[in-house]
């Protein structure tokens, strides 16, 4: 099969388009024919091994001190079709159309095929692969952009314990997590202010933001507005600045300092229900073919993407 191989830590140039062996599912696994994947900021941080300091050394020790060894393919979410199942699999069958988040250990969606377990081994782990039937009203390209951003957004929005009518500020609202956080906060009844750069504001209005702030033009702390919950996805708001605009009982959450989301299948199914009800949609900036994954990485690293960057996996020649 064709895949993008991660050869060393560094720039997008370390990614190579190669022919590799097609995987075979274990007894509890499914083999998925991938039609779409994504490139996220997290993928790029992993590729460079420039993740948060508290994780970096542990991750490098696991993946490989000098170069990637234990994990050699990146990509953490997918939309695809189950091609075959292991003998112990009961939840899925051949032909099921699915979407999934692989977790750190199971990375490798920048490829034509991947094997994933049918269900998490331990629901309390932060590294579970989460697999479900994709929303019926989404294409593979739209569905692949849901699991990572959607699950993280749901986790942090729930952390804020949002009540109907409360005021929420989301910083970094135009990215993978933020575009889902805006929609989920609205679903839970919040009045949402979305903050990001100029080019992303129209999209943020279109997905339900009540107010938008262009951080390049406006200092949100000087508006006189106060919030019940501030979700800082990009970690750019200092705690002292955040406290200026929080109500007395308000809560500030810095995603960059979080301990990690514990993804659950029921949460992905909850998001799926909202999608099928027309309450939530994925935001896709642009798409690239698999062989241009390095170029997709370059674009993501500009910081200019709105929502998600999708990788399209063609299957013209089966291998």
Domain count, the chain: 2
Sign for the pseudo-dihedral over CA of 278, 279, 284, 290: negative
My answer on whether 301 and 250 are in the same domain is: no
Residue 270 lies in a domain: no
Strands 97-101 and 29-39: unpaired
CATH number, domain containing residue 37 = 3.90.180.10
Q: Are residues 42 and 159 both part of a single domain?
A: no
The pLDDT assigned to 51 comes to 67
d(CA 307, CA 177): 8
For residue 110, the enclosing domain spans 2-146+282-312
Is the domain of 56 the same as that of 95?
yes
Q: Identify whether residues 85 and 194 lie together within a single domain.
A: no
- In a shared domain, residues 76 and 58: yes
User: How many Å apart are CA 110 and CA 130, to the nearest integer?
Assistant: 17
Query: How high is the pLDDT of residue 128?
Result: 86
Q: Decide which of 222, 242, 257 is a domain's last residue.
A: 257
Whether residue 273 is contained in a domain is answered as no
Predicted pLDDT of residue 240:
81
Quick one: 9 and 140 in the same domain? yes
Query: pLDDT value at position 188?
Result: 97
Q: Which residues in the chain land under pLDDT 50?
A: 319
Kindly state whether residues 91 and 116 are assigned to the same domain: yes
Phi, psi values for residue 201, rounded to 5°: -70, -40
């Amino acid at each position: 099969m064709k895949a993008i191989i991660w050869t060393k830590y560094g720039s997008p140039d370390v990614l190579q388009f190669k022919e590799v062996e097609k995987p075979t599912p274990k007894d509890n696994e499914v083999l998925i024919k991938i039609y779409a994947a994504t490139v996220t900021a997290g993928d790029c941080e992993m590729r460079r091994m420039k993740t948060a300091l508290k994780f970096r050394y542990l991750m490098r020790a696991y993946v490989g001190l000098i170069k990637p060894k234990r994990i050699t393919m990146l990509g953490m979410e997918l939309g695809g079709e189950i091609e075959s199942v292991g003998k112990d699999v009961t939840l899925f069958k051949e032909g099921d159309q699915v979407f999934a988040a692989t977790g750190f250990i199971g990375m490798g969606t920048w490829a034509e095929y991947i094997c994933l377990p049918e269900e998490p081994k331990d629901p309390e782990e932060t590294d579970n692969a989460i697999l479900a039937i994709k929303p019926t009203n989404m294409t593979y390209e739209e569905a692949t952009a849901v699991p990572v951003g959607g699950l993280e957004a749901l986790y942090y929005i729930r952390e804020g314990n949002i009540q109907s009518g409360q005021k929420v500020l989301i910083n970094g609202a135009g990215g993978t997590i933020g575009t889902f956080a805006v929609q989920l906060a609205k679903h839970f009844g919040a009045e949402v202010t979305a903050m990001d750069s100029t080019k992303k504001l129209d999209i943020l209005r279109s997905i339900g933001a009540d107010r938008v702030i262009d951080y390049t033009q406006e200092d949100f702390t000087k508006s006189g507005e106060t919030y019940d919950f501030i979700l800082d996805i990009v970690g750019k708001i200092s705690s002292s600045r955040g406290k200026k605009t929080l109500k007395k009982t308000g809560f500030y959450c810095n995603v960059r300092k979080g301990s990690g989301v514990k993804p659950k299948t029921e949460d992905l199914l909850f998001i799926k229900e909202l999608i099928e009800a027309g309450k939530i949609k994925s935001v896709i900036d642009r798409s690239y073919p698999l062989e241009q994954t390095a170029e997709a990485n370059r674009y993501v690293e500009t910081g200019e993407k709105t929502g998600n960057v999708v990788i399209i996996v063609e299957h013209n020649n089966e291998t």
